[in-house]
Amino acid sequence: MTHPDAPTRARVTQALRAQRIETPSWAYANSGTRFKVFPQEGVPRDPYEKIADAAMVHRLTGVAPTVALHIPWDRVDDYADLARYATEQGVTLGAINANVFQDNDYRLGSVTNPDPGVRRKAIDHLLECVDIMDRTGSRDLKLWFSDGTNYPGQDDIRARQDRLAAALREAYDRLGDDQRLLLEYKLFEPAFYATDVPDWGTAYAHCLELGPKAQVVIDTGHHAPGTNIEFIVAFLLRAGKLGGFDFNSRFYADDDLMVGAADPFQLFRIMREIVGGDALRPEAGIAFMLDQCHNIEPKIPAIIRSVLNVQEATAKALLVDADALAAAQRAGDVLGANAVLMDAYHTDVRPLLAELRAEAGLDPDPIAAYARSGYFERIRTERAGGQQAGWGA
């Protein structure tokens, strides 16, 4: 595609200015594989410092105004004070993520555990997260369950679905009028025989049963190889049940690499379905969130890079000539329809995005701006000592 004409450029830039991408507090902390966590200098030591880093990303990109929290990793005594601090830093608190997978009691599951006492403990944590939402002004309760079994006969599969439904119902009924429950799914790990929420269909069925405030969240790393994620996007959009994304990249399984790193064309195809479904607008209610672990790369630059990757995929999706695509589809022109998509995908949108940032008073190159800012040198000194945040903290 050549440089877009004035009407196209105006339409694309208007949509890009309104785009919002939520970053996760835990991505700023130390992380690793099950073999090793590699600590980095300057890593936050508490939720306040995580928010400060998220605010830095937003100042440089202009499109990351919210930061998701994970409880208990981000537990504080005064959530209203944390929310005030976020506002002072220029961001707000986003989704509240429950954690019912890191307690010894959850060895055989949390809300689907055969022990009613363990189930009660897990459900109480979900309700605690809604309490926190009330104090932070958060809209979304995001739930992912590691629950499942490793061996045939270990537990009753149908009974576990009944327990899951009961727990979700209790959490759903606790939500306020403007709050939502976002149910995430994952093919496998740490349950290897049968995961209790393994796919979008299971999540969709439970959300449909719960009601309009329950929607599905798609983690792009949680699928079997070859899964057509954009089909899932299209289906859930059509059903009004797509609540959000956890963006990351995978080569093999749940790799949690930077979004767009492994398959940028897939990210473009996903965003094309979003644009085609008129769901990019903030009013559409889709939460575009990152969920990544930066194990060997520097934290803040990796998150900036991820935000830029989503922006680039979105810009390309917006450049698809919808009229030409529809005409080719109606005519049964297979190659022509594909060419319309590929024309947009091969467009270099980086100059357009650089111009857009400059118009907003931002540095056209956020990565270079971060390197010049001295922020890393400052936090490396200020955060020396203390207990670094990481998995479980």
CATH code where residue 206 lies: 3.20.20.150
Tell me whether residue 355 is in a domain.
Answer: yes
Torsion of CA 35, 41, 44, 50, to 10 degrees: -90
Q: Find the domain containing 251 and state its range.
A: 19-382
Q: What phi and psi, each to the nearest 5 degrees, are found at residue 65?
A: -85, 0
Sequence-ordered strand ranges (E) for 105-192: 140-143, 148-149, 180-184
In a domain, 81, yes or no: yes
| Residue 203 burial (CB count, 10 A) | 26
The b-or-e profile of 2-30 (16+ CB within 10 A means b, else e) is eebeeeeeeebbebbeebbbbbbbbbbbb
Would you say residue 63 lies in a domain? Answer: yes
Q: Which of 319, 306, 304 is nearest to 365 (CA)?
A: 304
C-alpha 255/C-alpha 248 separation (Å) is: 8
**What is the reported pTM?**
0.96
CA angle, residues 116, 119, 121, in degrees to nearest 5: 115
Number of domains in the chain: 1
Q: Does residue 10 sit within a domain?
A: no
**E-strand stretches of 25-161:** 66-71, 92-98, 140-143, 148-149
In a domain, 7, yes or no: no
Q: Is residue 270 part of a domain?
A: yes
**Would residue 45 count as lying in a domain?**
yes
pLDDT tens over the chain, length 393 residues = 557 888 899 999 999 999 999 999 999 999 988 788 889 999 999 999 999 999 999 999 999 999 999 999 999 999 999 999 999 999 999 999 999 999 999 999 999 999 999 999 999 999 999 999 999 999 999 999 999 999 999 999 999 999 999 999 999 999 999 999 999 999 999 999 999 999 999 999 999 999 999 999 999 999 999 999 999 999 999 999 999 999 999 999 999 999 999 999 999 999 999 999 999 999 999 999 999 999 999 999 999 999 999 999 999 999 999 999 999 999 999 999 999 999 999 999 999 999 999 999 999 999 999 999 999 999 999 999 888 888 655
Evaluate whether residue 246 is within a structural domain. Answer: yes
